[in-house]
């Protein structure tokens, strides 16, 4: 049967894909500066493969599907590989791995009852290198290049300590061997190099892979520190097969005996199921590995079987790389929306064209604040790289300037609040821009949500939608209005039945009988969560009447009670929290609101006062939190540290006193180890806070 002929659309798309992929190959392999994510590259590549498969007449010899990498860059002597350095086919999921196994069985005529063993090893993300030895001595080290011809980087390779200049094993080493493997830069070394570059004002290296490839391909080895940080891990042999080797595992044993480092996690998987399990295990450990890893390479273990399977133009038929789901993706930033928080903070949120990242669909990512937007120069219309690691919220890593459409503008947070149109303010020492209007409907909605929440007044039936309705209908203009709501007003709201309205009124009534701690939480004072509210409640015992129409002597009593030094003297309350409490109670409008709430019936029993105690072990100390804690949330941990007089910052530096590392702690933990900053686990933190 004849293959169908491609239409003009298919033909022009194929041509476009060839151009695009060729251009990305050049950026990736020659300039070490890719401008799309690996996942996006894989997608383009698959699309082209697909077209060429449907319309074989579209395949031409220059197509990237028929070649690997890019031709050697100018400035290097070129080296012709004795046998081509191939690429690997990819499997994107278990289904594609199963299909691979089936294909091989069919080709080898092995039934499903017979085991087919695979040699499995992590696919390190680095640069491939071929090293040729003659009579045990290093002759030449060459990059992959376009697979046939690579670049001679022998001079640089000599700085890499894991590349032996002379092989071990004496007489037993074949006369000529050609070892292949990956040159990698371990993540800790990458972070350290970048920290140094930052100090020196040099541009930062994009990722460990590009940093490794860039180091290996320096024309004049100016960055020796980077070269010395590289490691070579061997994964194969192209020349010099020892006579006794029958499996991939045998080859790897010989390579090790000659003095090379091989992948410590590599192993034989006796069948497909154990291969899939190995891949899953590796994926679970992914963030803990010391070298960046983007999947598992599986090779048919038997060398006779490998030989029988042979190769297609760019990849062996006997090997495959099963990839991890991408943790980074590119997508378009369609708009920036502003959310107004409880304290009036304006948070810019990126609205993204929905994209699957690390197994979930992402369509929003916080842009944090103006400084962050400026630092990354994020603009509406940009194509951005979105990252989601583990359970971490999605973030925008960078924009791709090459893909920026014409006519975009730098983004500035609005000068007026998008909800109430008050002029926004940004204090000199703050990164946050705020809406100063405490009656702003957005602020009010968030305050009401907080007030109704479980740890505050715990108002049953007062959910997000109802709060929006109440505020939008002007039925509630401040928190205290909640407690003077009438049945008729509630019944006037859309979709509000009599039963629900009555239930709400009764839960509002019930919530009026509360505790001082809950009431203090409900006020929504910055930095005052459960722990601090409780400390404050035990310090105050009760709240005095805060009515400003009181006599002068009463007012001065209140001022004394909420004096900065007095509050700071409370065990567990540091200066930052104290300041926030003092400023809250010194605001006339807050005091009036408290008075109204009490007039409307909010009450609590008095609390037994506890005397204050001096300093804690955490006071004055700087903490960085990383990873997932099990008994505390991040916010709770932060609050307790602040309560103990410490401070919490986002990045590890020499000034950090403690790094608190939870599960799956990543680069911050490595940085702490590097800078020799004390690391606490969760128990350690709790222990410290209890002193
Ligand atoms: S074998 C025989 N094994 O992945 C097929 N490659 O996509 C040739 N890579 O160019 C490669 N770890 O740079 C093989 N354990 C491993 C690998 C590995 C990383 C890289 C290598 C290769 C690319 C193919």
The residue to mutate among 70, 183, 235, having the most atoms of ligand 1 within 8 angstroms of its beta carbon, is: 235
**How far apart, in whole angstroms, are the C-alpha atoms of residue 523 and residue 597?**
10
Q: What are the boundaries of each domain within the chain?
A: 78-323, 441-511, 516-599, 622-689
- For atom 23 of ligand 1, the residue with the nearest CA is 87
Alpha-carbon torsion (501, 502, 503, 505), positive or negative? positive
Greatest extent of the chain over all pairs of C-alpha atoms, in Å: 102
List own/partner pairs for 582-585 with CB under 8 A and 24 or more apart: 584/523, 584/525, 584/526, 585/546, 585/558
Q: How many angstroms is it from 87 CA to the middle of ligand 1?
A: 7
Structurally, what CATH architecture does the domain formed by 78-323 represent?
A: 2-Layer Sandwich (3.30)
* 515-528: pLDDT as tens digits: 999 999 999 998 88
Q: What is the DSSP string of 547-601?
A: -TTS-HHHHHHHHHHT-HHHHHTSTT--HHHHHHHHHHHH-HHHHHHHHHHHHTT
Nearest CA to ligand 1 atom 18: 123
**123 CA to middle of ligand 1, Å?**
7
| pLDDT tens-digit series, residues 623-669 | 988 888 888 888 788 888 887 778 888 788 888 899 998 887 777 88
- The residue whose CA has the least distance to atom 12 of ligand 1 is 123
The confidence score (pLDDT) of residue 448 equals 95
When pLDDT is cut at 50, 70 and 90, the band that residue 390 belongs to is very low
Confidence class for position 58, pLDDT limits 50, 70, 90? confident
Sign of CA dihedral 250, 255, 260, 266: negative
How high is the pLDDT of residue 88? 94
* Residue 604 reports pLDDT greater than 80: yes
CATH code, residues 516-599: 1.10.150.20
Ligand 1 centre distance from Cα of residue 594 (Å): 67
CATH 3.30.1490.20 holds for 441-511: no
Please tell me the predicted confidence (pLDDT) of residue 298: 98
pTM of the model: 0.53
CA 367, 369, 370, 371 torsion: positive or negative? negative
Residue 274: which residues within 8 A CB-CB, separation 6 or more? Answer: none
Measured in degrees and rounded to the nearest 5, phi and psi for residue 18 equal -60, -45
* Pocket perturbation via mutation, ligand 1, pick of 147, 182, 310 by most ligand atoms within 8 A of CB: 182
Atom of ligand 1 nearest to the CA of 315: 5
Mention the CATH class of domain 622-689: alpha beta
Classify the phi-psi angles of 357: left when phi > 0, otherwise alpha if psi is within -120 to 50, otherwise beta: beta
Q: What is the pLDDT of residue 27?
A: 78
Contacts of 102 (CB under 8 A, 6+ apart): none
8 Å CB contact between 398 and 410: no
Check if the beta carbon of residue 344 is closer than 8 Å to that of residue 430: no
Q: Are 480 and 593 within 8 A, CB to CB?
A: yes
pLDDT, tens only, 345-383: 999 999 999 888 866 778 999 898 898 899 899 999 999
Give the pLDDT confidence score for residue 3 in this predicted structure. 63
The answer to whether 380 touches 408, Cβ cutoff 8 Å, is yes
* Residues 289/291/297/301 CA torsion (nearest 10 deg): -80
User: Which of 232, 260, 297 is the pocket-test mutation for ligand 1 (most atoms within 8 Å of CB)?
Assistant: 297
**Given this model, what pLDDT does residue 1 score?**
46
Residues with Cβ within 6 A of ligand 1? 86-88, 121, 123-124, 128, 144, 182, 235-236, 297, 316, 319, 321
- Over residues 147-160, the mean pLDDT reads 90
Distance of CA 55 from the midpoint of ligand 1 (Å): 29
Please, how many CA atoms are within 13 Å of residue 471, restricted to the half-sphere of its CB? 23
Q: In whole angstroms, what is the distance from residue 80 CA to residue 148 CA?
A: 6
Per-residue pLDDT at 299: 98
- Give the residue among 247, 252, 272 at the shortest CA–CA distance from 116: 272
**Active-site annotation holds for 654:** no
- List Cα–Cα distances, 249 to 86, 131, 144, in angstroms: 20, 20, 23
Mean pLDDT of 87-103: 94
Q: How far apart are CA 366 and CA 364, in angstroms?
A: 7
The answer to whether residues 331 and 352 touch, using CB atoms and an 8 Å cutoff, is yes
Most confident residue range from 30-39, 273-282, 541-550: 273-282
Residue of 123, 299, 445, 664 marked active site: 123
Cα-to-centroid distance, 320 and ligand 1 (Å): 9
At residue 611 the predicted structure's pLDDT band, cuts being 50, 70 and 90, is: low
Q: Say yes or no: do domains 441-511 and 516-599 share a fold.
A: yes
């Amino acid at each position: 049967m004849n293959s169908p002929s491609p239409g003009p659309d298919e033909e022009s798309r194929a041509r476009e894909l060839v151009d695009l992929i060729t251009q990305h190959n050049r950026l990736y392999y020659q300039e070490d500066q890719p401008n799309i994510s690996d996942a996006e590259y894989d997608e383009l590549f698959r699309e082209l493969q697909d077209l060429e498969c449907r319309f074989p007449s579209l395949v031409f010899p220059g197509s990237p599907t028929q070649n690997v990498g890019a031709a050697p860059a100018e400035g290097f002597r070129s080296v012709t590989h004795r046998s081509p350095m191939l690429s690997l086919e990819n499997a994107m999921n278990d289904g594609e791995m199963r299909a691979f196994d089936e294909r091989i069985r069919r080709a080898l005529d092995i039934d499903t009852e017979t085991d087919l063993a695979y040699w499995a090893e992590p696919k390190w993300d680095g640069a491939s290198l071929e090293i040729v030895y003659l009579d045990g001595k290093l002759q030449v080290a060459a990059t992959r290049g376009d697979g046939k011809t690579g670049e001679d980087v022998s001079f640089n390779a000599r700085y890499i300590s894991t590349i032996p200049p002379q092989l071990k094993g004496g007489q037993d080493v074949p006369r000529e061997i050609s070892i292949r493997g990956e040159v990698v830069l371990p993540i800790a070394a990458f972070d350290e190099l970048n920290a140094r570059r930052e100090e020196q004002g040099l541009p930062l290296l994009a990722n460990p892979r590009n940093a490794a490839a860039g180091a290996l391909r320096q024309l004049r080895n100016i960055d020796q520190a980077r070269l010395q940080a590289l490691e070579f891990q061997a994964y194969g042999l192209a020349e010099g097969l020892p006579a006794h080797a029958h499996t991939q595992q045998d080859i790897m044993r010989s390579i090790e005996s000659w003095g090379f480092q091989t992948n410590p996690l590599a192993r034989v998987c006796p069948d497909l199921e154990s291969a899939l399990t190995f891949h899953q295990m590796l994926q679970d450990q992914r963030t803990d590995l010391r070298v960046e890893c983007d999947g598992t390479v599986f090779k048919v273990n038997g060398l006779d079987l490998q030989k029988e399977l042979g190769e297609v133009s760019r990849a062996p038929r006997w090997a495959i790389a099963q990839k991890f789901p991408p943790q980074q993706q590119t997508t378009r930033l369609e708009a920036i929306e502003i959310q107004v928080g409880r304290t009036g903070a304006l948070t810019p949120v990126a609205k993204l064209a929905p994209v699957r990242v690390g197994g979930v669909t992402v369509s929003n990512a916080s842009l944090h604040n103006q400084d962050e937007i400026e630092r990354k120069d994020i603009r509406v219309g940009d194509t951005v790289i979105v990252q989601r690691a583990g359970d971490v919220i999605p973030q925008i890593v960078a924009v791709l300037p090459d893909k920026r459409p014409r006519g975009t503008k730098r983004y500035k947070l609005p000068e007026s609040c998008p909800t109430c149109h008050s002029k926004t303010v940004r204090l000199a020492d703050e990164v946050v821009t705020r809406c100063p209007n405490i009656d702003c409907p957005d602020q009010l909605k968030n305050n009401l949500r907080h007030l109704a929440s479980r740890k505050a007044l715990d108002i049953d039936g007062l959910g997000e939608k109802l709060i929006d309705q109440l505020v939008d209908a002007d039925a509630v203009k401040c928190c205290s209005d909640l407690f003077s709501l009438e049945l008729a007003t509630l019944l006037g709201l859309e979709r509000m039945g009599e039963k629900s309205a009555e239930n709400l009124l009764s839960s509002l009534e019930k919530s009026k009988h509360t505790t001082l701690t809950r009431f203090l939480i409900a006020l929504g004072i910055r930095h005052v969560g459960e722990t601090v509210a409780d400390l404050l409640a035990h310090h105050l015992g009760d709240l005095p009447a805060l009515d400003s129409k009181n006599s002068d002597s009463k007012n001065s009593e209140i001022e004394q009670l909420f004096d900065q030094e007095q509050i700071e003297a409370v065990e567990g309350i540091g200066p930052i929290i104290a300041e926030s409490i003092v400023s809250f109670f010194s605001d006339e409008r807050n005091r009036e609101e408290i008075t109204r709430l009490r007039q409307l019936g909010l009450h609590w029993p008095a609390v037994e006062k506890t005397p204050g105690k001096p300093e804690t072990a955490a006071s004055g100390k700087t903490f960085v939190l990383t990873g997932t804690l099990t008994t505390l949330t991040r916010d709770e941990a932060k609050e307790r540290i602040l309560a103990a007089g410490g401070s919490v910052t986002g990045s590890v530096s020499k000034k950090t006193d403690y790094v608190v590392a939870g599960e799956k702690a990543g680069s911050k933990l490595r940085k702490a180890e590097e800078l020799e900053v004390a690391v606490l686990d969760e128990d350690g933190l709790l222990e410290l806070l209890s002193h």
